[in-house]
Amino acid sequence: MEINKDMLIYDLLQAKPEAGEILMSIGMHCLGCACARGETIADAASVHGVNVDELIEKIKNA
């Protein structure tokens, strides 16, 4: 599965559970909440003031 900015957080965590630690490090502490099921990586990066391309690279390299 290709990890990209349009991927849902829920799908990301299913495909690559270790990404949870990276997301937690940017302040996303509600990974299990309802928003995570419909929020994309780009949405999360925007809300948390993180560069989405840098976040994607961190996740891919985890």
Sequence ranges of the domains in the chain: 9-61
* 17 pLDDT more than 80: yes
In the predicted structure, residue 10 carries a pLDDT above the cut 80? yes
**Residue tagged 């997301």 (tokens):** 23
Which DSSP helix (H) or strand (E) runs through 52?
helix 52-61
- pLDDT (tens digit per residue) in 20-48: 999 988 888 777 777 667 889 999 899 88
Q: What is the pTM of this model?
A: 0.84
The residues, any chain, with a CB within 8 Å of residue 17's CB and separated by 6 or more, are: none
Mean pLDDT for 1-27 is 91
pLDDT at 61: 92
* % of the chain exceeding 90 in pLDDT: 56
Is 41:11 a contact under the CB 8 Å cutoff? Answer: no
End-to-end C-alpha distance for the chain, whole angstroms:
15
